[in-house]
Chain A
Amino acid sequence: EVQLVESGGGLVQPGRSLRLSCAASGFTFDDHAIHWVRQAPGKGLEWVSGISWNSASIGYADSVKGRFTIYRDNAKNTLHLQMHSLRAEDMALYYCVKDSSSGSLGGAFDIWGQGTMVTVSS
């Protein structure tokens, strides 16, 4: 079964850091780009960041550029999102999402994890 399982969410104070992780199984991880998409409570979907199969292409939303870093470990089939200087507006459910295209960024998001909640509050 193709699966993405996120972890690492929790309650964090404004200005602090948090690292999210995503464990992939059921497909050839290093054949696909992977993304983070978030959803604030009661709001719509927002793409956060994406990384190609070999980490050569990386993109960030303007809202997180310079504060978040995406990286992957193909040997361990895992994806990470290092988040610094967290703000109240970063509070959301963070989904790990598989790109349907072969390797590069730019496909549809065909597999979604269940998400991990990040709460930013003092």
Chain B
Amino acid sequence: EIVLTQSPDFQSVTPKEEVTITCRASQSIGSSLHWYQQKPDQSPKLLIKYASQSFSGVPSRFSGSGSGTDFTLTINSLEAEDAATYYCHQSSSLPWTFGQGTKVEIK
């Protein structure tokens, strides 16, 4: 099983700051890495697919990069509505796995 490790687990950020969340895979997964946002009491929403492809309707301040084992989700100029937990997910090999999540709080 491929283990995804996100860092940090928690981040408290001021609006307009840049946020960077990393996801490290226990073995190479190419670009089969996706990012989701989950707000309290809501279902997760897809932000980025295949490491760097923005999903339809997602604000341009969200971007992704990386390949192999190291990936990054960047939120440029954080807005209050971005307070949420962010998860990475790999679809390279079964079983599909998720990172443990990174909670972003707005100061």
Chain A interface residues (CB < 8 Å from chain B): 35, 44-47, 50, 59-62, 95, 100, 105-110, 112-115
Contact = CB atoms under 8 A, between A and B. Distances in A.
B96 interface: yes
Contacts of A113: 43
A64 to B, nearest CB: 10
Interface residues of B, number: 24
Contacts of A47: 89, 95-98
A46 B55 CA distance: 21
A25 to B, nearest CB: 16
Given A62-B1, A108-B91, 10 more contacts: A35-B96, A45-B36, A45-B87, A45-B101, A60-B95, A106-B92, A109-B46, A109-B89, A110-B46, A112-B43
B95 A62 contact: yes
